Structure 1
Amino acid sequence: MTIAAVSSVTITLILVGVFLAVILNTTKLASDLENNVRVSTFLKLGVHDDSKEIVDPKDNSKKITNPDYQKLAKEIKAVPHVSKVTYSSKENELDKLTKSLGSTWNMFKGDSNPLYDVYIVEADKPENVTKVAKEIGKLDGVDRADYGGANTKKIFGLSKVIQTWGFAAAGLLLLVAVFLISNTIRMTILSRQREIQIMRLVGAKNGYIRWPFFLEGAWVGVLGAIIPSLLIGFLYRIGYIGLQKSLAQEGLYLLSPNTFVPQLILFMVVVGVVIGSIGSIVSMRRFLKI
């Protein structure tokens, strides 16, 4: 029964941890996208709009003055509702990824860099981002103009689905966990009826008798929280590294594992203790007649 109770708490907390991580991150991304007034304008390969000098196409050993220097930047600034334009080379974009995801990305420096030169365009208002992105996407030399607004509704929809079904499933498992812990404590009480009767005869108070069973339920919750805490923390860091590299180019970031994972682990431990304590209290009220 004890193993069953601990296993139930473990399964419950794993699901609660997964759903909580997904819900909080999708909510954050949706909020960031909704308030995002930036358009990431990726330049086509071979377009060096921010370079004053370029390699002479006729002689690779020579450099010439770039006749189209900041031509595209001026066209972008002329687009209605554009408030600010900032250039970021593909080297700078790689440095951002390296800082956020680790030194592994240093292997892509130089000719191996797969990123694009980018103009970060800020609109005057969030509602004008769509118009700005469409106009910039038509300009010659622009590979694509990305903004977050197109995905906001999808992310909000996904978040609502996860909240509805995730919390329902987690709530059902919480009840199962409480039931199993309650039965575990009940079996313990039944096996110690003689000891409890002796304790009462020598004058032990009700609280003194109840306290060990209460602690037993809490410890079942703590034991059930160990595996979920380690598993969720490990999986979240892997998921963060895998997803963040694609989001960073859009200026979007998931919750940092350095702060989110410790908070999530603390939350799961607290929930485990609460589940165990509730199961113990339910059992004592129903079966411990003192």
Structure 2
Amino acid sequence: MKGHTISYLFLEGLKSLWKNRLMAFASVATIVLSLLVLGMSYAIANNFEYIIGQIEQKIGISVYLNDTLSDIQTAELEKKIKSIPNVSQVSYITKDEALQIFAGEDIVLYDEFKDDNPLPASFEVRVNQIVNQQAVVEQLMQLGLEVNFFQAETDIFISLNAAIQFFSSIVIIILIIISLLLITNTIKLTVFVRKKEIEIMKYIGATDSFIRVPFLVEGISIGIIGVIIPTIVIFRVYDVVARGLSKVLIDVVGGIYLRPIETIMVGLVPIYIVLAIGISMLGSIIALRRHLKV
């Protein structure tokens, strides 16, 4: 196919898009609504997983130290703990720091025990993933250390994280399938409405490629518009909502944040492109194939 023919067919596709703008609008609206619902579900599921991950990181293991340990012994012990697989962070808490944490803002309580502090120094150990916490605890106990950690809370978060990942994956897959069906059926309807136009072109000798290219241009154009609109909407809405919710989370929980908008978009936009542009093209090809057999 020659260059000027391709240019002509491309322009014909754009003209046809404007000529049949009501059907094009219906197609774009279907794509936009489908992708908006999918985008919101994706952002919510992604942030639930992200928040759970942050909370997991706050659940640590306390390793209590004997008061008779020297500074050298404490430093050597810290090295051993850091060398344990899946340990991501080790923080040393002195006896005085432990008392300050325990007393909080109660100055009287702090003054009462500061000269005879019953609390031991400790290491606060964080693991890279909460599912690895039990294995780390077992290795710490093998070193003969007194260990304290929240077994019940750990089990809850492991189960909760697994459940969120499972259900969010199911929901997103269902939404993708629904979006795919809606987009494909809308494209098929668009082609069916113009069945007569296709038949006339076939009867006057137009080749399949000559008929197909303008429809593909329409499908791609509809897909591009269908991607741009929900991408902008999700970007703007998420940015506003995330700022508000982040303030609430910081005030209520402390140190908990939502995923940056850039991270959400990096994962979401490729899905949008495949669904909108890819399915629009595929829908046009499938729908045209039937009507080209005249």
Q: Residues of 2 paired with 1:69 and 1:256: CA distance?
A: 47
* Deviation (angstroms), 1:156: 2.9
Task: Provide the secondary structure at the position in 2 that maps to 1:132.
Answer: strand
Give me the identity figure in percent: 20
State the match for 1:161 in structure 2: 167
Q: Residues of 1 paired with 2:199 and 2:175: CA distance?
A: 36
* Deviation (angstroms), 1:240: 2.9
State the match for 2:277 in structure 1: 273
Residues 196, 257 of structure 1: alpha-carbon distance in 2 compared, 3 angstrom cutoff: same
Q: Residues of 1 paired with 2:155 and 2:36: CA distance?
A: 32
State the match for 1:256 in structure 2: 260
Residues 33, 45 of structure 1: alpha-carbon distance in 2 compared, 3 angstrom cutoff: closer
State the match for 1:109 in structure 2: none
State the match for 1:68 in structure 2: 114
* Deviation (angstroms), 1:195: 3.7
Higher helix share goes to which structure?
2
CA RMSD of aligned residues (A): 4.0
Residues 47, 284 of structure 1: alpha-carbon distance in 2 compared, 3 angstrom cutoff: same
Q: Contact 1:33/1:148 (CA < 8 Å) preserved in 2?
A: no
Q: Contact 1:37/1:126 (CA < 8 Å) preserved in 2?
A: no
Task: Provide the secondary structure at the position in 2 that maps to 1:75.
Answer: coil
2:287 to 275, 283, 287: 283
* Deviation (angstroms), 1:213: 0.8
1:1-290 matches, cutoff 5 A: 1-30=23-52, 38=60, 45-47=104-106, 68=114, 75=120, 77=122, 84=123, 121-123=124-126, 126-127=133-134, 128=137, 132-133=148-149, 150-200=156-206, 205-245=207-247, 246=249, 253-289=257-293
Higher strand share goes to which structure?
1
Unaligned runs of 5+ in 2: 1-22, 63-97, 139-146
Task: Provide the secondary structure at the position in 2 that maps to 1:122.
Answer: strand
Residue identity in the other structure for 1:212: P
Q: Residues of 1 paired with 2:237 and 2:150: CA distance?
A: 38
The TM-score normalised by the length of structure 1 is 0.59
* Deviation (angstroms), 1:273: 0.2
Residues 68, 162 of structure 1: alpha-carbon distance in 2 compared, 3 angstrom cutoff: same
* Deviation (angstroms), 1:199: 5.0
- 1:133-191 deviation line (CA, Å, top 9, x unaligned): 459xxxxxxxxxxx776434224323322332442244123212201111102323433
Q: Residues of 2 paired with 1:253 and 1:39: CA distance?
A: 23
Task: Provide the secondary structure at the position in 1 that maps to 2:194.
Answer: helix
The TM-score normalised by the length of structure 2 is 0.58
- 1:221-265 deviation line (CA, Å, top 9, x unaligned): 222223211222223223433444537966655432133325423
Unaligned runs of 5+ in 1: 49-56, 58-64, 78-83, 85-120, 136-146
